[in-house]
Amino acid sequence: MTKTQRQHRIGELIEREVISTAAQLVTRLQGEGISATQATVTRDLQELGTIKVRDEHGTRRIVVATAAKSSPAPLDHLRRMMGEWVVSVESSANLVVVRTPPGCAHVVASALDRSALDDVLGSVAGDDTILVIASESLGGSSLAEQFRALAGLDELTTTMKGSKHG
């Protein structure tokens, strides 16, 4: 396991569990088959920018100091970005392909990533295309419908389909 992978896992653990010492983290990591010394974990915690705080229950715990800055962006922001930049949304299995004008995919992908939607596993942006991976429980088709609604493409898509036949 690389340093980056270990630090990512540490970040996940301190976000989800109450952990108050580096020693607890070492034990928790060892339980997952990840070997790390207490000194290494302490350095990782420093590099991640963690601090010790008392939570709402009075329990001391380690948290990432910048966690407040990385809170999910409101869905309204995603709606504005998609409404302005998304020109089409298609799906296959649990994949969704979102198209934008050239040079705009990263703007929508950033808003999508920051919105932290539950059923989105991740996204990859190119110049004018974003590949979004949906959870298997939701599926690409349902996620594509949500994206079309956010982008205001429902009416447009229906109108375009109707005009092809008439």
Q: Does 157 score more than 80 pLDDT?
A: no
Is residue 68 pLDDT above 50, yes or no? no
**pTM over the 0.75 mark:** no
Q: Are residues 33 and 114 in the same domain?
A: no
Q: How many CA atoms lie within 13 A of 134 on its CB side?
A: 21
Which has the higher per-residue pLDDT, 70 or 139?
139
DSSP for 86-117, written as a single string? --EEEEETTEEEEE-STT-HHHHHHHHHHHT-
Query: Tens of pLDDT along 8-64?
Result: 999 999 989 999 999 999 999 999 999 999 999 999 999 888 898 887 788 899 998
Express each pLDDT in 71-83 by its tens digit: 566 788 889 999 9
Shared domain for 87 and 159, answered yes or no, is: yes
With tokens 């100091």, the residue in question is 65
Task: Assess whether pLDDT exceeds 70 at residue 143.
Answer: yes
Q: Residues near 151 by Cβ (< 8 Å), separated by ≥ 6?
A: 82, 83, 86, 89
Query: Does one domain contain both 43 and 115?
Result: no
Shared domain check, 153 and 100? yes
What CATH number is associated with residue 43?
Answer: 1.10.10.10
58 and 80 part of one domain:
no
Whether 70 maps to a domain, the answer reads no
In a shared domain, residues 13 and 57: yes
CA gyration radius, the chain? 21
At residue 66 the predicted structure's pLDDT band, cuts being 50, 70 and 90, is: low
Domain span holding position 40:
3-64
Number of folded domains that form the chain: 2
Same domain, 87 and 149: yes
Taking phi over 0 as left and psi of -120 to 50 as alpha, with beta for the rest, 57 belongs to alpha
Q: Collect all residues with Cβ–Cβ distance below 8 Å to 48 and sequence separation of at least 6.
A: 7, 10, 11, 64
Distances (CA, A) of 120 to 9, 97, 114, 131: 19, 13, 11, 11
- If asked whether residues 94 and 158 sit together in one domain, one would say yes
Are 95 and 119 contained in the same domain? yes
